[in-house]
Structure 1
Amino acid sequence: MKKSASIRQVLSCLEKRGAEIYIDKSFCDLPSLGLGREVHAGGVLSGCHFDVGYALPLCGLRSLPRAAAKLGAQGLPILAVTL
């Protein structure tokens, strides 16, 4: 399964359950995130402080340590999905 299909599936599942989805600022210039559809984000994350209950980074194995360092510094629970 392609990464974009996996991301599309996870986001669709979250949207159906009414989850608020926040996108990292580095992806703001990609309205469809390469997914072939719009992503309905509740907000944009920038900087190092986020007002969220938990994080679900969708990333590859090389990006996971960077995501964990950025999110874990705030003591956020992280459920990582590696693609």
Structure 2
Amino acid sequence: MMCDARLFAPQTAELSRDHAVQVACITGADSIAALADAVLASAPPRFALAGLSMGGIVAMEVAGRAPDRVTRLAL
């Protein structure tokens, strides 16, 4: 199962026409909190966020940690 940037390739291509799109890597950390920290470290000051499966869990953690930065959330 391709649960990485390839999964969102069609959406990324379409959204990139009008918006800056970034797909976070959510591997290489030992906790959801650490993954959320990594996402926040690489994200712009304000951003919309989408996540699926474990990415959704990370997205909820990000939104909980920085609600002032997350403008929209899609799970």
TM-score normalised over the length of structure 1:
0.47
Q: Which has the larger radius of gyration?
A: 1
